[in-house]
A and B are shown apart, each in its own frame.
Chain A
């Protein structure tokens, strides 16, 4: 039936805020303090992080601005308006493939972390398969459903993250943070690039903007959306440095999880806070993964209009699973992450900027 204003094809700007925020909060959080500690000294990483955040915010603005120029149009449609159909098809399929790979990567990292901290006897393959099946269940429902899941889960995720920091305050030592500004320019630069990838623009916005009912407001809310993970990262990074100091943080594989290990629940009715933290964090990873999968499905569907969504799910899911299982060990998973970083530059910087510039120069506008 037609369901009043809750049409399945319509979302508000609040939803944009939520999906931008919860797309970025995923596995990056777990490793970010290490990446920053490796390249900067003491607590100087925050400078890199803030710079990366500002860059990211500006590009998310560009992305949102571009998409909001063409309300109710798919990325493929307006990209073909701006720069001919074949080029648009290449762009769209490229983005789709990137998000498929991202889905696979997230699935793999989730399996690795779960196995390491929660569930050491079950084979990685089973853990990954179960997770992927739940993701498939999510994306085979309505598109709005996926977005609503993000809204439902993000508060829980933020609460557990704040709890993690509160429980660590007793171990926090201010002297670990100083002296300030001792890092070299190269260090700042390295830190910025490292952290940029964890907080980089969410190209899915190019696709989700189609469903926004008030596109004018959306760029602002998308920028707010980036602020949430940025704030969270800053706090977590400072927390990690304050608790462990820079040298130790640089040696920890997942410093955030180690923070959770340190934490003790007052009253002691539960031990091993990291298990609880990771259990909740699975929801964060799930959010990112389902959004990534959904975006790739949307991209494929927009190019191949006649093929049903379920067909793509049937085809893509085994591929995602195989790609996720492809890396032999954790080292190769890291390599996979590195490979996935380069397309981000193209997808969330080069494509939106060129398209927006071209659209402005050629005066192409949507019908909104």
Chain B
């Protein structure tokens, strides 16, 4: 019965929607020659929103009427006032200028002579008009013609270019992408003055109709990548894509994998480096995060700073990060395995002090580790949600006070607190946030394996993760390359970063069209 009534209600609602649509049908989706009719249609189509601006006026000193339509706030008002309205009103001011007789010719006259604006185009359907208005352009209607001029007048408030918060560097450019697509493409253009830099536009979102740009350098990138990205992007059928995360999830190779298959960044220098390696970059309007692909495991532990600092420092930092990744994944699991299954492996003095510190702790090592890790994850999550100043306080309160109190209360052992802290610090050292997330997830799997089967469990879990990784692909590229399939040449820029002068070629695994990265001249001296 209840289902029935629900169904009835639902039916009622759909009928209501239908009648609403019917009411709206007192307007037409076509363009007419009559100005009033056109204005009525556009008003009805958008349901007379408060921010819709319609300004009617006459051309020069004639009585010929025209109107401009735009959305307030989305357009550059100054531009409209000085380059559109003023110009049109001044037209035919001088006696030798004359307005064309036919309205269609007026459109051409405006296009050629009157509008002092770079981007103007003629459209012939209401659909295009409404899309143009909604994306911040201005529509110019002229009485007597069904042609509408669309004036490029996008201009809205933007966040200014700031240092990217999620990817801070000591040394390196300080600018970060912002939410405006055009600004972002400009930032890339400013860095690469190559005629082969390509920006391919797409539109995603059935309703939001957002702009998406695929950037690559023709002549470097393997054309198959472009084809493949194009194929995958074409399949996107969402009503909105608020963030590149939506795009990523739609086009990635394996959505079941914990590992990211695209890297994201808000640093233009990183994007440019990716382009130079023969990768593809995907930018979306409305988000500062761009996608780069294909991604391999080695990339996830690299930071642009590796290249900005001298090579020895860069190499050492990279190795440090590999160590960090190892600790972030394995340390709690190893603690559990050693304490509960292989206490003999711990040096006897340390074993005694661990045993002494675990005296009175009511839980087995796994529960202890699990509780502390969960607490740590909660703290981290809370720290992100809270406003910045409080976030730090919570970090200190949580980290120090809870840790201290938990130990004092005999809830966990001090060694466990050390283990958890080192693990957390290590996972913060990951340059890529999404990789750090992946490591955080599989850490718990390893802890479970260690709790059940000790070292044997850990090694089996490790093998299983590797099996997953060798079968994983990013845009069709093996995730584990250049480790396996091995490209020894690429190892120069993998765990270590050898001097710039020796990195004469682009990564081999990317199979680029142009391998040479520099001329034959030797650097130095």
Residue positions of A touching B, CB distance < 8 A: 1-6, 11-12, 14-15, 114, 118-119, 122, 127, 130-131, 134, 137-138, 141-142, 144-145, 147-149, 151-153, 268-272, 275-276, 279-280, 282-283, 286
Contact = CB atoms under 8 A, between A and B. Distances in A.
Given A4-B476, A134-B467, A151-B483, 17 more contacts: A3-B473, A3-B478, A14-B486, A15-B485, A119-B455, A134-B464, A141-B467, A147-B484, A148-B470, A148-B478, A148-B484, A148-B485, A151-B484, A270-B346, A271-B347, A282-B456, A282-B459
Contacts of A142: 470-471
Given A131-B460, A148-B478, A279-B458, A138 B467 contact: yes
B328 to A, nearest CB: 19
5 contacts: A4-B224, A114-B456, A141-B470, A148-B478, A272-B342
Contacts of B476: 1-4, 6
A130 B459 CA distance: 11
B341 interface: yes
A254 to B, nearest CB: 17
Nearest to B224: A4
Contact of A152 (B228, B344, B460, B483): B483
A269 B471 CA distance: 36
A6 B478 contact: yes
Contacts of A149: 463, 466-467, 470, 484
A3 B477 contact: yes
Contact of B471 (A5, A141, A275): A141
Given A118-B455, A119-B454, A119-B456, A137 B485 contact: no
Contacts of B477: 3-4, 6
B19 to A, nearest CB: 48
B455 A279 contact: yes
A68 B471 CA distance: 27
A120 to B, nearest CB: 10
A145 B471 contact: yes
B348 interface: yes
Closest 7 CB pairs of A and B: A3-B476, A151-B484, A148-B484, A148-B470, A141-B471, A145-B470, A145-B471
B469 to A, nearest CB: 8
Contacts of B350: 269
Contacts of B480: 148, 152
B485 A272 contact: no
A4 B485 contact: no
A158 B508 CA distance: 26
B145 interface: no
B100 to A, nearest CB: 55
B485 A6 contact: yes
Contacts of B458: 279
Scoring A4, A11, A138 by chain B CB atoms within 10 A of each residue's CB, the highest score goes to A4
A138 B453 CA distance: 20
A1 B466 contact: no
Interface centre among B460, B464, B473, B480 (most CB of A within 10 A): B460
Contact of A270 (B224, B347, B454, B457): B347
Interface in B444-464: 453-460, 463-464
Given A148-B485, A270-B345, A279 B456 contact: yes
Contacts of B459: 279-280, 282-283
B222 interface: yes
Nearest to A122: B453
Nearest to A150: B484
Given A148-B478, A270-B346, A271-B348, A153 B455 contact: no
A147 B483 CA distance: 12
Residue of B224, B466, B511 with most chain A CB atoms under a 10 A cut-off? B466
Contacts of A279: 455-456, 458-459
Nearest to A147: B484
B484 A152 contact: yes
B456 A276 contact: no
A156 to B, nearest CB: 10
Interface centre among A11, A122, A145 (most CB of B within 10 A): A145
